[in-house]
Structure formats: C-alpha cells, structure tokens
Amino acid sequence: MAWVPLFRLYSTTPSLIYTFPIVQYTNAPHSNKKTVFIEGMRGVGGIVVEGAEEAWDLEIRFILFAADYAALTALIATLESTIVSNTRYYLRIQKTSATTPESYFEYKVKRISPIEYSESLRNDFLEVRITFRANAW
C-alpha cells in the first residue's frame, strides 16, 4: 500500500481538531514571501530583499464517504460544527511518512468563506471544497 499524506487541522493549543479524508486537490505548498529587487544606479547588479509573508487562499478539495444519506448528513454537520468560521487554526500537511516536526508543512489558517458542497444525487459520498485564508493571523 502506498503512503498517503495526511491533512490535519489543529487548534492553537495545539490539539487535533479534524483530519481531512481523501484529499483530491490542494494548492499548497505555496510560496508566500514577498521579495523586492533593488538595483544600483551606477553599477550592474542588485540585491534581493526578502519581505514579509502575504496572506493567500489555501484550498482543499476532499471527499466525504458514508454508508447512507443519514450518515452523510451527520458527517456534514460534524464538519460544519468543527471547522468554525473566523477561528484560528494550524493546518499541517505531511511531507513524509515520518512524524518529526520537520516532516510536515504548517500554515496558520482561518476559514473565512462557507464550505462548498458539490451538487450530486449520490447519497453515499460528497465532494467538498473548503477555502482557508493562510497567514491571516
């Protein structure tokens, strides 16, 4: 069986809040450093100055699976009540199968938009899209 990276959401304490099941797409990792190029007036060349981190939208698309429609709506209710809008979280995405602090990407995130659900007539799975604002706190 192949290794699959885990996408986990932690509170600021940090304690585990939510593990995203079956992630299909994400736009992370994302370079969020601003840089400024300063060129000399008389000489050839210049310097690059690294600036602060910018806020950006981090998107995760995943699938919720359940046995039937009632179980699926329970998963949706849990998701909505667990990941509260405008609350500070840490999102950790594993880079390797190791569990050391160096083995994951970590982002400071807030959910500022509603969770989006695909329009589907299926009653056993549902595609979900959640957008966080990274570096928003």
Is 19 a domain residue? yes
Residue 77's domain comprises 7-134
Dist. CA 93–CA 7, nearest whole Å: 5
pTM: predicted TM-score of the whole model, two decimal places: 0.79
CATH number of the domain enclosing 110: 2.40.30.200
Q: Cα 81 from chain centroid?
A: 17
Least Cα distance to 112 among 81, 136, 77, 79 occurs for: 136
135 against 77, higher pLDDT: 77
pLDDT single digits (tens) 56-109:
899 999 999 999 999 999 999 999 999 999 999 999 998 877 767 678 888 999
Number of domains into which the chain is organized: 1
- pLDDT over 70, % of the chain: 93
Is 1 a domain residue? no
Is 92 a domain residue? yes
Is 2 a domain residue? no
